[in-house]
Amino acid sequence: MSERRYTLTISCPDRSGIIAAVSGFIAQHKGWIVEASYHTDLETQRFFMRQEILADSLPFDLIEFHAQFTDLAAEFKMDWHISDSAQKKRIIILVSKQDHCLNDLLHRWRSGELLVDIPCVVSNHADLRGFVEWHGIPFHHVDMTDKADAFENIEHLFRLYHGDAMVLARFMQILPPDLCRRHAGQIINIHHSFLPSFVGAKPYHQAYQRGVKLIGATCHYVTDELDAGPIIEQDTVRIDHGDSVDDMVRYGRDIEKTVLARGLRYHVEDRVLVCSNKTIVFK
């Protein structure tokens, strides 16, 4: 993205005139909309909108945008957010011993494909310290012997580094419910199965025992219910009777890293809006 943009996202009760009102507000201030997406969820009767606006086309900054837009938002009972592409999201990555998802994210970050800041990486093992620090990123080892203390430390680091999102890149630990609730919509996990099938530990072993013909990976928001949060992105690969559990794990690693990267990119570009326990993803 070469030009600085503001991204406006809106969720509100569906009714006529929403698009006209928002587009009219932007046009009134000479704003230039370069991308627009809309969706109505018929079950909940909620309307969802995402617009990208050239920042330089507006005569004011985001502070003044908030002041000017407040009355319109109140009229339509909007839950809304606007972000600036010049302000990169700050991503705190949590990882265990497996490094394939971490390695992929750091490669995309270094190459400029993933436009985020990564102020630190946190792990319950010290194995990946050298790899992370080689990238110039601080590494924090958190001992999980006392889990309550460990998760308090993790949340402290998230706040200390002013994190916008916490990414569980095969962290392999269950987060406490209160942490999930405090940071709803900010914690992203990659689960190595095509949810809702095979939740919990060792999903490839579960899939092998069931003789499935497809395995997959799921990127989702973390909630206080294990592996049941709103799904952001998924993908699958076909297998057959000749594939062992080890084969499935090997195939799965490729899917896990690509699904996590796509889901995270949708999140940092403000393309994901949550509707109950589902998501609307404007790709």
Phi, psi angle pair for 272, to nearest 5°: -115, 125
Q: What angle do CA 190, 221, 214 make, to 5 degrees?
A: 45
283 half-sphere exposure, CB direction, 13 A CA radius: 4
Q: Is 79 a catalytic residue?
A: no
Separation between Cα atoms, residue 230 and residue 227, nearest integer Å: 9
Q: What angle do CA 151, 157, 158 make, to 5 degrees?
A: 90
The residues pairing with 40 across neighbouring beta strands, listed in sequence order, are 47
From the list 104, 227, 243, 270, the catalytic residue is 227
Separation between Cα atoms, residue 205 and residue 118, nearest integer Å: 33
Residue 255 is classified by DSSP as: H
CA distances from 277 to 151, 218, 221, 232 (A): 25, 15, 10, 11
Residue 13, token pair as written in the block = 């009760």
Decide the pairing of beta strands 33-41 and 46-54: antiparallel
Q: Which residues are catalytic?
A: 227
